[in-house]
Amino acid sequence: MEYTVQKLGQLAGVSTRTLRYYDEIGILKPARINSSGYRIYGQVEVDRLQQIMFYREMNVSLEKIKAILEQPDFDEAEALRKHRVELLDKRKQLDELIRNVEKSIAHSERRMTMTDKEKFEGFKQKMIDDNETKYGTEIREKYGEETVNKSNAKLKGMSEAELARIDQLGQTILTDLQVAYETGDPAGELAQNVAAMHKEWLMAYWDSYSKEAHAGLAQMYVDDARFTAYYDKEKPGSAAFLRDAIVIFTSK
């Protein structure tokens, strides 16, 4: 079965503009161009578009999807199995949020009582699932399944007040990092205070602390472009500066 841009767009529920853009960036090129100049897509392209759409549903960037699909050892069947696991996790998250809403309705109608902790269960699970989607593979490879699972369990057990405190601490780290960066001295008092706050922030999630793991995570902030972009958003170079400050902090 072959499809023109318009027919493939109708089949998949995407715009022809999107398909043309995919052709331009090389993530989904047509099988051929016919004598009338129309893009023609075959079964291989249909299956590739399905993979692209699965990854996009998981909020994976087009750049990363293209790199994944072009790996010499890319296994379509294995990719589909991973998609299934991720979608089941997403369904679990949605089911928990739905249960949370249903409980909240019953609580508001005085048909049942709901603790403050219960009110935020679904949101904490969403936070865990989002982190797994973005960084799960890398973190699990670096620290192991048991460590990550303990961290997730610890997060899920936090009260709303604890979550708010940790979130505020994270924001303070970002703000103070920008000030410390201007000094240009990762060994200075401001930078070392940021490193100490970063340790405190980590301990909210980690089951135990080691200087080696802390320094290793700081290096990941530089090695992984997603972490680097997060810390470098306001001032390029901040991720490397934070890494240097933490390395000094953990060497004491």
pLDDT at 248 over 90: yes
pLDDT of 41-68, one tens digit each? 999 999 999 999 988 887 788 998 999 9
Report the percent of the chain where pLDDT is more than 90. 49
Q: How far apart are CA 209 and CA 229, in angstroms?
A: 25
* Helix (H) or strand (E) segment spanning residue 4: strand 3-4
pLDDT at 107 over 60: no
Question: In sequence order, what are the beta bridge partners of 33?
Answer: 39
What is the model's pLDDT at position 197? 97
Q: How far apart are CA 163 and CA 157, in angstroms?
A: 10
Residue 99 structure tokens:
């249960």
Half-sphere exposure of 83 (CA within 13 A, CB side): 17
Q: Mean of the pLDDT values across residues 9-23?
A: 94
Q: How far apart are CA 136 and CA 167, in angstroms?
A: 20
Q: Which residues contact 105 (CB under 8 A, 6 or more apart)?
A: none
> What's the count of helices (H) and strands (E) in the chain, helices before strands?
12, 3
What CA–CA distances, in Å, run from 190 to 3, 47, 91, 201, 246? 61, 53, 44, 17, 12
Residue whose C-alpha is closest to residue 199's, from 220, 182, 213, 178: 213
What is the model's pLDDT at position 82? 83
What is the model's pLDDT at position 212? 94
Q: How far apart are CA 81 and CA 200, in angstroms?
A: 38
pLDDT of 124-145, one tens digit each? 566 666 666 666 666 677 667 7
Question: In sequence order, what are the beta bridge partners of 32?
Answer: 40
Q: Helix axis angle, 43-57 relative to 5-12, nearest 10°?
A: 40
Q: Could you count the other beta carbons within 10 Å of the beta carbon of residue 233?
A: 12
pLDDT at 205 over 70: yes
